[in-house]
Every structure is written in structure tokens, then in C-alpha cells.
């Protein structure tokens, strides 16, 4: 930034082109992923019959021998039908759990999984955390992100409960974001989680502005843990990452 002197003798500030360009670039780095995520919230990502809960004509992953390594290499149809065969968690989920995005069934859906959770905003998604319900308060949770491989950022609160699944009508642990004022709340995100075995869980994440969109485009993920107690005091509602 340079300082120029007008004939009046008063100093004025003049922005350099490089500073203006860096400001624009900074804005694009943060806002483009958000913009694309919102747009894709309106557009179907794959053509898959998620309303058909009959047994598919291919080999299923068997719950008894499923590992996190098998989940990472499984195709979306295998993950979806495995999810339909699973029960809800056998006990309350409480604490922070490591998370990974799995195959989403199409190029567009897998690209969204990367774009929506880049190191830029809101950060690389690495987990979810849950605070179990008490007599005085409903269950709730939040997501955990790693900002450029360093600082942890806890944000995007959700409400949790056991309720019937939108796909097969059986019980699931549901994470409901609708009603919150943050980005995922505005996208009406809703996740369902079922148990493979204690400590290993399969989830289906959905978002979109219609029930058909949410039902038709589940995004699979796995959860492992818990690896530590929840940190509810660190959850933030602001849009931008915390400085420092």
C-alpha cells in the first residue's frame, strides 16, 4: 500500500493492485466451495433407487466381518444396503469420533465430498462429536474440522435422537441440522447413523431443499471411536474460522 499527497497536502491511502487481487483471491477460496455446495443442494447427484429396500442382486457386505478397511473400498450400493441391514447404536454415543467420507456413488457426489470439506472452508472434516441426552436436555453434537492440517475447529451444531429412518422405517440415530442458522442448517442437512459393531458406525448424510433430494442422494461416511470426551465449550457458531 502506498501513500500519495494531493495538492491540498492531506495524505490519502491508495490500494495497490496486488492487494486488491489478493483480497479477491482470498474471497474466492472461501466462497466458491460454499456457492457450489448450495447449488448442488438443488441438483440430484446420482440415479440410484434409494426407495427400493428389497435385497439387491449382488453380494452384500456382511456385518460380522466388516472392517473400516472394507468400508473404504466398498461401492456405494454395497454401503447403502449394508446400512439398511444394520441396527441403531446399541448404547448412547458420547464423545468425539473420527470420521471418513466413503464412496458416494457418482463422480459428482464424490467431487462434492471433496469440495464441501476442503482445507479452505470449513476445513478438512475429521470427525463428529455427541453429547448424550439427559433428563434436562436433549442430545446434541457438532462436527470437527482440521484447518490446513493444524488447528482443530469445532462447529455446525446438530440435534440428535433415535427415530425412524427415511429409507426403511427402522430405527436410526438421527442428526438433525434443520433449524440451526449455520450453513448446514440452511442446507437442511440430516444424517443417520447405524452400528456395525461397538466403536464402528456407518452413516448416511443428506442435504437439499426437498425431501426427494435428501432421500435420493445419501453420502456415506464411517465413524470410529470415541477417542476423547466431547468439548462442548469449544463449539462456535460464527462463519469464519477462529484466528490464532
Sequence-distant (6+) residues with CB within 8 A of 189 are: 158, 175, 177, 178, 205, 206, 207
In the chain the first and final C-alpha atoms are separated, in Å, by 25
Question: Alpha carbon of 154 to those of 22, 62, 129, 219, 236: distances in Å?
Answer: 27, 34, 9, 21, 6
Average pLDDT of span 214-219: 75
Helix ranges (DSSP H) in 11-74:
17-40, 68-73
Chain mean pLDDT for the chain: 77
Average pLDDT of span 40-48: 53
| pTM assigned to the model | 0.74
Angle at 124 between CA 114 and CA 87, to 5 degrees: 80
Residue 224: pLDDT band with limits 50, 70, 90: very high
- Can you give the pLDDT at residue 235? 86
Highest mean pLDDT, choosing among 5-9, 136-140, 172-176: 172-176
Count the alpha carbons within 13 Å of 100 in the hemisphere toward its beta carbon: 13
Per-residue pLDDT at 49 exceeds 80 = no
Q: Which one has a higher pLDDT value, 172 or 69? A: 172
pLDDT, tens digit, 9 for 90 and up, residues 17-36: 666 565 555 555 556 556 55
Q: Does CATH place domain 37-234 in 2.40.128.580?
A: yes
Average pLDDT of span 165-189: 88
- Contact yes or no for 190/174 (Cβ under 8 A): yes
Highest mean pLDDT, choosing among 7-11, 27-31, 229-233: 229-233
Return d(Cα 24, Cα 6) in angstroms, integer.
28
Q: Sketch the domain layout of the chain as residue ranges.
A: 37-234
Torsion of CA 113, 141, 89, 67, to 10 degrees: 40
Per-residue pLDDT at 150 exceeds 80 = no
146: its cell numbers: 482440521
Per-residue pLDDT at 172 exceeds 90 = yes
- Can you give the pLDDT at residue 201? 97
Per-residue pLDDT at 81 exceeds 80 = yes
| Lowest pLDDT segment from 17-31, 39-53, 79-93, 219-233 | 39-53
Amino acid at each position: 500500500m502506498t501513500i500519495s499527497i494531493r495538492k491540498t497536502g492531506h495524505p490519502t491511502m491508495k490500494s495497490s493492485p496486488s492487494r486488491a487481487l489478493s483480497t479477491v483471491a482470498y474471497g474466492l477460496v472461501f466462497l466458491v466451495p460454499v456457492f457450489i455446495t448450495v447449488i448442488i443442494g438443488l441438483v440430484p447427484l446420482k440415479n440410484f433407487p434409494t426407495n427400493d429396500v428389497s435385497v439387491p442382486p449382488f453380494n452384500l457386505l456382511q456385518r460380522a466381518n466388516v472392517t473400516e478397511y472394507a468400508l473404504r473400498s466398498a461401492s456405494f450400493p454395497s454401503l447403502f444396503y449394508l446400512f439398511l441391514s444394520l441396527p441403531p447404536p446399541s448404547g448412547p454415543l458420547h464423545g468425539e469420533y473420527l470420521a471418513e467420507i466413503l464412496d458416494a456413488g457418482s463422480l459428482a457426489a464424490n467431487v462434492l465430498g471433496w469440495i464441501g470439506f476442503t482445507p479452505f472452508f470449513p476445513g478438512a472434516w475429521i470427525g463428529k462429536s455427541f453429547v448424550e441426552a439427559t433428563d434436562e436436555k436433549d442430545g446434541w453434537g457438532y462436527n470437527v474440522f482440521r484447518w490446513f492440517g493444524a488447528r482443530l475447529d469445532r462447529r455446525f451444531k446438530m440435534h440428535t435422537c433415535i427415530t425412524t429412518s427415511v429409507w426403511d422405517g427402522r430405527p436410526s440415530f438421527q442428526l438433525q441440522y434443520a433449524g440451526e442458522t449455520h450453513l448446514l442448517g440452511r442446507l437442511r442437512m440430516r444424517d443417520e447413523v447405524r452400528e456395525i459393531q461397538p466403536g464402528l458406525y456407518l452413516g448416511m448424510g443428506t442435504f437439499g431443499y426437498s425431501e426427494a433430494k435428501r432421500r435420493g442422494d445419501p453420502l456415506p461416511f464411517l465413524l470410529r471411536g470415541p477417542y476423547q470426551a466431547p468439548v462442548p465449550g469449544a463449539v462456535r457458531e460464527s462463519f469464519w474460522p477462529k484466528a490464532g
